Chain A
Amino acid sequence: MQSEAVLLPEALQPPTLFEGPVTLGSLDDQVLQYPARKPPAAWYLAFAFTFTLMTLGFSFIGYTFYMGIGVWGNTSPVFWAFDIINFVFWVGIGHAGTLISAILLLFRSRWRNAIARFAEAMTIFAVMCAAIFPLIHVGRPWVTFWLFPYPNQRGLWTNFRSPLIWDVFAVSTYFSVSLMFWYLGLVPDLASLRDRTKSGIRRFFYTVFSLGWRGAASHWQHYERAYLLLAGLATGLVLSVHSVVSFDFAVSLVPGWHMTIFPPYFVTGAIFAGFAMVVMVLVVVRETMDLKNLITAYHLDVMNKIILAMSCLMGYAYLMEGFTAWYSMDQYLHHIFMQYISGTYGWAGWLTISCNVLIPQLLWSRRIRRSYVGMLFVSLAVTVGMWLERFVIIVVSLHQDYLPSSWHIYKPTLVDFGILFGTFGLFFTLVLLFARVLPVIATSEMKVILPGAQPAHAGGRHE
């Protein structure tokens, strides 16, 4: 018996995941046309810009490599600055992808199918950007392989009690798991591409990378099981990776860092920043690739609601930090907290709160959730705010810790900024390449949720 969807008030209506007529075939035609087509001029323009930015960034990295870390602003006592801020920022951006693909799969939410592929790709690219920083921020980048515990003639092992080593394992596991998850999801789509492409080098690559997938039901069975298991494992990974990153700070005794709320606080912030980035990119994708009927206003609406929820959780975390800073009766923590909101970097503290807690409150309004200007403004604010938040946590806590004789104002250099923007260049270059070469929507997953796709059995629904 069908539910009377027509009589439901608008607030209770089921989500509109498709607009207009969509069939299995039209889905393939719409999404899989892009890997076969030459991209428009706008793509080349964008690519030129991001590629230049990326090259500039890598040049700055090369310069740092040659001259040493002294060309950055890092100095006593602010020994960690842009390097770690950027690392944490990019790892955080990656988390939204895993949440969308993995956690939402566990909840069997259907709206994830249109955006999971792109979000996962963004995760991988973000983690690649993040991984650059641990490698380049050491004094001798050519021996960063010492971070891995391998048998060596020095008779040494890495210090497993250090969160920096936990990071090495966490981020590399995160990268490999995300890559596996993303690639497995791509296999059926690559098979579709293989079968649509008549000949040529592209067909060769699709053939090889689709592994001979043929859509056998006995294969789908194991595939689905593996996918679900991977989703469960990746969920645990989302929680743990950014928690391990937060441990970099929270296990120390620096005032303002040794707060027990850091693990869930960082995870929340990561999801928050990641969703903002996903929203920004998806707005561009759905417009330029004409995918508005598949990535609907509902998708953007629900993602904005998640951003709003995360913003409220961030507000809670800030409240907790502030309250505990007072409650602790610890003069050093008091001082640092005052530095967060006044002092040389007080502007950063206030800007962070505005961007992360105040501006996203605009998303309570349905109109703003569904308007490009509104959501882009909020997402941009969130991205800036989350970067600034890491800046505040790291730089402010370090620049005036226990010993006043060590206090020093930190000033970033051109090289710092150059590398940061370079990683944005890298990220968006990879995003553009991805959109050019691979299907940005997982067609096999979309087909599952098309109306009429699943045979009715005993009137069951899957929501």
Chain B
Amino acid sequence: MSDGVFAVVGLFDNAQELLQAIPRVRARSLGRVEAYTPYPVHGIDAALGLRRSPLAGMVLVAGMIGAATALFFQWWMTAVDYPIVVGGKALFSWQAFVPIMFEVTVLFATFTAGLGMLFLMNRLPFFGHPLLSSKAIAAVTRDKFGLAIEAQGEAFDVEAAKTALTAAGATTLEVLPFQRELVPLQFMTRAAMGIFVSCVVAGYAMYWVIKLFPVLPPMVHMEDQPKLNPQKASAFFKDGHGMQLPVDGTVARGPLPYLIATQEEAAGLVNPLPRTHRVLQEGRTVYNQHCAVCHGLLGTGTPSLTSAYGAKPANLQGQTIRDYPDGKIYHVIMKGKNAMPSYAADLTEEERWAVVHYVRVLQRAQNARDEDFQ
């Protein structure tokens, strides 16, 4: 029985001697036998009786999980959660999913192999192993081969172990004591605190960065673009306005603004439409749709509307309006008069002038002359 001893280590000069020593030492059954070499030596696994590494199976399973995961998440994202037809391809376009499936398979498999080997199989990182603070470690990572008998059971005895190793050909011996404190608590606490503080600081910093970053140039360059924007100032023009009136000589397309303010000014307007059957038909249709409701089918005003509404639509057959030039009637349509609103938005330019013609027709119809009947 040996208290406080972890193992006895013997050093050998080359791999051949080590390999020959292993069965001899194992035969003594003093404890678990471990070898330490600067590089992997062939045949040592069998000599030490090590079981086959399960990593290959783990990696295969992890790879298959990776493939299934990738297939599932691509299917779900593309065919279920946000289905969009791209390039005419089916929603579940498995062919397109294969490359990422492959990559994720390799990713899962690789991390299982690497991290599984380190954390699970070898239980690394581990800085507290007694060999790390011994004299032997420098030789073992350089050019010597170590064989250790670990103190595990009742059978272990330091002297017996030393004898066994020397008999097997070890050139140097060393006794490895147990580390009282495998990993200093103070170090652990300091490290944990450090990590915690860094996370908090980093989180806070990230919050502010994400908040401020998008409003810094050049991120805002797309918002503040050096071009003419509506209702924004512009240094390009002398008066500083972004919005300008059209220059002289601009050819108008579409409706022009109606700038005439009073009926008197409008008197000069001339009806551009000819008095054809088609125009008069159109005038009649438009008049019946828009104007007859107030002014009556004959232009005299509708009694029912007057009593209900209170206002009195103008009598188009009256002398005043019969004396109006066309322009004044047009002006009333454009701007409205008294209670009548503007009908500029309801009628096109052509419709307005057609209505003017039709009003004339109505007036003539009520005041027919004898020659009209011949």
Contacts and interface: CB of A to CB of B under 8 A. Distances in A.
Direct contact of A and B (CB under 8 A): yes
Interface of A: 23-25, 28, 65-68, 140, 142, 149, 155-163, 165-166, 169-170, 173, 176-177, 180-181, 184, 188, 191-192, 194-196, 207-208, 211-226, 229-230, 233-234, 236-237, 240, 243-244, 247, 444-445, 447-448, 452-457, 462
Interface string B120-158: 011011111101100001101111001000000000000
Given A157-B81, A217-B41, A230-B114, 17 more contacts: A161-B96, A166-B100, A191-B141, A194-B141, A196-B142, A207-B127, A214-B132, A215-B36, A215-B140, A222-B53, A223-B117, A223-B122, A226-B114, A233-B106, A247-B99, A448-B39, A462-B42
Interface in B60-107: 73-74, 77-78, 81-82, 84, 86-87, 89, 93, 96-97, 99-100, 102-104, 106-107
Nearest to B97: A160
B48 interface: yes
Interface of B: 14-16, 18-19, 34-45, 48, 50, 53, 55-56, 59, 73-74, 77-78, 81-82, 84, 86-87, 89, 93, 96-97, 99-100, 102-104, 106-107, 109-111, 113-114, 116-118, 121-122, 124-129, 131-132, 137-138, 140-143, 146, 213-214, 217-219, 221-222
Contact of A160 (B37, B77, B219): B77
A177 B118 contact: no
A447 B128 CA distance: 27
Contact of A226 (B48, B55, B106): B55
A225 B104 contact: no
B125 A457 contact: no
A222 B38 CA distance: 15
Given A25-B142, A166-B99, A173-B103, A445 B39 contact: yes
A25 B44 CA distance: 21
A230 B112 CA distance: 10
From DSSP, what is the main secondary structure of chain A's interface residues?
Answer: helix
A177 B110 CA distance: 7
B104 A169 contact: yes
B178 to A, nearest CB: 16
A136 B138 CA distance: 47
A142 to B, nearest CB: 6
A165 B18 CA distance: 53
Contact of B44 (A67, A166, A217, A222): A217
A438 to B, nearest CB: 16
A244 to B, nearest CB: 5
A167 to B, nearest CB: 9
Q: Which of A170, A180, A220 has the most CB of B within 10 A?
A: A220
9 contacts: A161-B89, A166-B100, A166-B103, A176-B107, A176-B110, A215-B141, A216-B35, A240-B99, A455-B19
A233 B141 contact: no
A224 B40 contact: yes
Given A240-B102, A454-B41, A455-B15, A160 B125 contact: no
B64 to A, nearest CB: 13
A452 B42 CA distance: 12
Contacts of A453: 15, 39
Nearest to B134: A214
A455 B124 contact: no
A23 B14 CA distance: 11
A112 to B, nearest CB: 15
Contacts of A66: 217-218
Contacts of B45: 217, 221
Nearest to A163: B99
A216 B44 CA distance: 11
Given A215-B38, A217-B37, A218-B50, A230 B122 contact: no
Given A142-B214, A236-B102, A219 B82 contact: no
A214 B107 CA distance: 28
Nearest to B104: A169
A452 B102 CA distance: 41
Contacts of B217: 66
B119 to A, nearest CB: 10
A24 B38 contact: yes
Contacts of B132: 212, 214
Nearest to B14: A452
A211 B124 contact: yes
A230 B74 contact: no
A440 to B, nearest CB: 17
Nearest to B42: A454
Which of B77, B86, B117, B127 has the most chain A CB atoms closer than 10 A to its own CB?
B117
Given A66-B218, A177-B107, A222 B37 contact: no
Nearest to B83: A157
Contacts of A180: 110-111, 114
Contacts of A149: 73, 77
Nearest to A183: B114
A289 B131 CA distance: 33
A453 B19 CA distance: 12
B125 A195 contact: no
Nearest to A449: B39
A213 B124 CA distance: 7
Given A160-B77, A223-B40, A445-B39, A218 B48 contact: yes
A225 B117 contact: yes
Contacts of B34: 216-218
Contact of A214 (B55, B137, B142): B137
B136 to A, nearest CB: 10
B114 A68 contact: no
A190 to B, nearest CB: 10
B323 to A, nearest CB: 63
Contacts of A447: 38-39
A201 B87 CA distance: 57
B106 A161 contact: no
Given A214-B132, A233-B106, A236-B102, A456 B93 contact: no
Nearest to A64: B218
A382 B87 CA distance: 37
Contact of B103 (A28, A207, A223, A240): A240
Closest 10 CB pairs of A and B: A24-B143, A226-B117, A211-B125, A217-B35, A157-B77, A222-B121, A447-B39, A195-B138, A220-B40, A225-B53
A195 B141 contact: yes
Contacts of B128: 212
B122 A222 contact: yes
Considering residues B77, B86, B126, B129, which has the most beta carbons from chain A within 10 angstroms of its beta carbon? B77
